Amino acid sequence: MEKIRQKNFSNGSVYALKTNDGYLIETTDTFLPECTKYCNYNIEGYGDRTERWMIGVSVMSGCPVGCKFCATGIMNQFRNLTEDEIIGQISFVLDCNPQYKFSEAKEHKVNYTRMGEPFLNIKNVRKSIELINYYYPEVHHYVSTIGIKDSDFSWIKENITLQISLHSLNEERRNNLIPFSNKMTIKELGQIRTKSNLKTTVNLTLVDYADFNIEKLKELFDPQYFFIKLSPINPNINNTMGGGVVNGRYY
φ, ψ of residue 22 in degrees (nearest 5): 90, 10
Closer residue to ligand SF4 (CB): 47 or 118: 118
Amino acid letter at 86? I
Residues 56-75 that bind ligand SF4 (CB under 6 A): 63, 65-67, 70, 72-73
Does 202 interact with ligand SF4 (rule: CB under 6 A)? no
Does 146 interact with ligand SF4 (rule: CB under 6 A)? yes
The CB-of-50 to ligand SF4 minimum distance in angstroms stands at 30
Q: Would you give the binding string for ligand SF4 spanning residues 15-54, x where CB under 6 A is met?
A: ----------------------------------------
Q: Would you give the binding string for ligand SF4 spanning residues 81-120, x where CB under 6 A is met?
A: ----------------------------------xxx---
CA–CA gap between residue 161 and residue 145 (Å, rounded): 11
Instruction: Report the length, in residues, of the chain.
Output: 251
The CB-of-178 to ligand SF4 minimum distance in angstroms stands at 6
Closer residue to ligand SF4 (CB): 70 or 139: 70
Does 14 interact with ligand SF4 (rule: CB under 6 A)? no
Catalog residues that contact ligand SF4 under the rule CB under 6 A.
Answer: 63, 65-67, 70, 72-73, 115-117, 146
